Amino acid sequence: MNRKYRQRGYQDDPSEKKSAPPPKTQGPREFRPRAMPAFRETARCSMCGTTVTVAIGPGSQCLKCGADLYTCKQCRFFDTGLRNECSQPVPERIVRKDIRNQCQFFEAKLSIERETGSAEVSKAPPNPKNPNDARRAFDALFKK
């Protein structure tokens, strides 16, 4: 049967069957590992969000904003939905959560973050002392 359009339908003749093309043979697939970012545990200041690089002790402060780090807001057990806003059995409520205290249950809150760049790439080039230094460096690239 010869028709203008060859889509399958109810008028197809059952004796007229198309054979499916043979499946393509593929060899073993090549494994290419992708560069996945690494993860790290970091502590951040609860006031400014800077990464804290020093060990948090009773007298430690943020290097950027000067806020106290040994506070309830920096603690792992701090939870605003609980009684006394702490998941540990504290003897008395600490009213100010953002100032230094002497809580015996304090543990620094760590978060797992993705490393987005290597250490070599993240270093910024030094700023030129004089605006003409940058101009001279640019001109040196394209000497005539």
Question: Going residue by residue through the chain (144 aa), what tens digit of pLDDT does each one get?
Answer: 565 666 666 666 666 666 677 777 777 777 777 777 788 888 998 888 888 888 888 888 888 888 889 998 889 999 889 888 889 888 888 888 888 988 888 888 898 888 876 554 444 555 656 777 878 888 888 875
Q: Give 113: exposed, middle or buried? Use CB within 10 Å, 0-12, 13-18, 19+.
A: middle
Q: Kindly report the length of the chain.
A: 144
